[in-house]
Amino acid sequence: MLELKSCLSSAACLECKGCCCFASESWLPQLLEHEKKALKIIRVHSREDDNGMLTCEFLNKDDHHCRIYEQRPFECRLYPFLLVSRRDKIIDLAAHLACPFVVSAAEGMLFKAYVGYLRNFFNDPIVRNMLKAEYGTFHSYPEEELMVVQSNILQPGAGEAGQ
């Protein structure tokens, strides 16, 4: 499991209750190969809540806690940041504009410092090699819901020095 420090406290996320709820299946977290083996599942499923929204199968609806928090997928650990694939096998780092933290902090020092931390994280050769091998896991999201914070953060086949 990749160790990744969070930009938000779990208390801040639980106050919002926006994550783990989706308008479409395309927002469900994708699993890396080692996560599939560890969780003994092929994909994360959703269920429809009373409001017609989809929720992650691991979300406890009563207290909005994740039932697999300590083993949650990499995409969940990274959120509200996302790795977004685009043409030519390039992956951008983006922030999800539905997250109140992203909207309120995008110009602040905490946000910028965390983006710097993520750049360093993705430049680690071990991380880069693992994510390059998993390129097909990452997909695109609606562009109007994203703010790209780093273009070309990962390009399979590119040199290890970073982009």
Domain total in the chain? 2
Mean pLDDT across the chain, nearest whole number? 86
pTM check: above 0.85: yes
- Kindly report, residue by residue over 129-143, the tens digit of the pLDDT: 888 888 888 888 888
Dihedral of the CA atoms 19, 24, 28, 30 (nearest 10)? -140
Q: Which helix (H) or strand (E) holds 119?
A: helix 109-123
User: How crowded is residue 27: how many other Cβ atoms within 10 Å of its Cβ?
Assistant: 21
* Omega within 30 of 0 (cis) for the link into 80: yes
**Residue type at position 102:** V
Residues 117 and 67 in one domain: no
Residues 89 and 153 in one domain: yes
- Kindly report, residue by residue over 16-31, the tens digit of the pLDDT: 777 888 888 888 899 9
Written as one string, the DSSP assignment of 28-76 is SPPPPHHHHHHHT-SS--EEE-TTS-EEETTEETTTTEETTGGG--HHH
Domain of 157, in residue numbers = 80-163
